[in-house]
Amino acid sequence: MKQVTMYQNKRVLVIGLAKSGFAAASLLHELGANVTVNDQKPFAENEAAQQLEKLGIRVVCGGHPLELLDEPFDLIVKNPGIPYTNPIVEKALKKGLPVITEVELAYQISEAPLIGITGSNGKTTTTTLIYEMLKEGNKHPLIAGNIGTVACEVAKTAREENWIVTELSSFQLMGICEFRPRIAVLLNIFDAHLDYHGTKEAYVQAKGNIFRNQTTSDYAVVNADDNTVMKLAEGFDATKILFSTTKILENGAYIKDGSVYWNEEAVIATSDIALPGKHNLENILAAISVAKLVGVDNETIAHVLMTFTGVKHRLQYIATINGRKFFNDSKATNILATQKALSAFEGEPVILLAGGLDRGNEFDELIPYLHNVKAIILFGQTAPKLERVAKQAGIETIKHVDNVEKAVPVAYQLSEPGDVILLSPACASWDQYKTFEQRGDIFIGAVHKLK
């Protein structure tokens, strides 16, 4: 960890605990800051707050009292999930206080260069692929961010020979000042998290922050097939590295004659790739681009791609029961992710389990992808909206259930040998579950009960 002195005796307010808030508060305390932690959860039920208090950190629990900001704080560190419309955050911004997220702290203390991966879809798969390629190529990677350990915790132990491979959300990227990844990846941009950002323009700007502080000595890996991504990347200084599933590129990663290419080198035949779904080719091309920039050889990259079958909750194969194949795609928290999941099973009959948090959007964009869906099982706040779309798509069998656990046996009863039973909700989980991981784990458990 770099010797950082800028926080000594600074008064810092950490708003929101969870993993990132706890890590940020602990680190800042270690760096000599006078830390106050403010969390919504009552102190008696708040194990993290209790642990921090034992370290000598002041904690204020049970709400976000605005009078806290009457104190002379120098900095706010915000949990990414707390929106900027929260009254205490709004007041902090009006007072001119800097509001950051913990990834900024990670960058400030890290001895290792960072690789940042963002996009509306595919972040976790791409982050994991990059990590696996660098690990097999002996590049000493560490994995951080939304996919694993909080970034500033990883950065504390990283050394110069490491690469910190970091999955980044738009929420995190809104809270940066100097954060500068050596390699930044922007996979795609789709209408997502509009309840948080308010407009697509604000969401796009947040994603673009991943490039904001890069210089010409850094790399921006961008999707040549996404016009929004390309236009956004043009406004920044990093050296652009393109990838495309539809175009043959002079430089970059692309598909030609049934093989994946890096520049003019064939890396692997697409038929040898273990990861299912055409949509994953974008993620693979992005990962190859990063691996080659770091210096991983083609043979190592190909070996990873021949053996890597995916990550948990992202089009994850669970089991085949009496000829029915079950897939967990709980990480499909928006329409595009579910479109891609359905495209992966083109030509196979699908029973779709979908629904969740209502963020105000409709689901008409799903209709062209529902032609092979023979039945749909709906749950959560968006069930009525999805029912309308399912009827418009001509799906005759539409069932409503209370939750994911109850959806599984209903789907099985409606299925026949050869069917795919797919959890791909097209919605966030927060109306019924703490996380998409919890939702996916409940689905997995319900499938195993069928055995």
Annotated binding site for ATP: 119-125
Give the integer Cα–Cα distance in Å for 243 and 222.
6
296 Cβ contact partners less than 8 Å away, ≥ 6 residues apart: 133, 134, 136, 137, 139
Which residues are registered as beta bridge partners of 261?
254, 266
Measured in degrees and rounded to the nearest 5, phi and psi for residue 327 equal -130, 135
Measured in degrees and rounded to the nearest 5, phi and psi for residue 100 equal -125, 170
**289 burial level (CB within 10 Å; 0-12, 13-18, 19+):** buried
Pick out the residues of the known binding site.
119-125
Q: Do residues 112 and 294 lie in contact, with contact meaning Cβ atoms separated by under 8 Å?
A: no
* Number of residues that this document lists for the chain: 451
Q: Do residues 285 and 133 lie in contact, with contact meaning Cβ atoms separated by under 8 Å?
A: no
31 Cβ contact partners less than 8 Å away, ≥ 6 residues apart: 4, 5, 7, 8, 109
Which residues are registered as beta bridge partners of 163?
141
12 Cβ contact partners less than 8 Å away, ≥ 6 residues apart: 28, 33, 34, 35, 36, 73, 74, 75, 76, 77
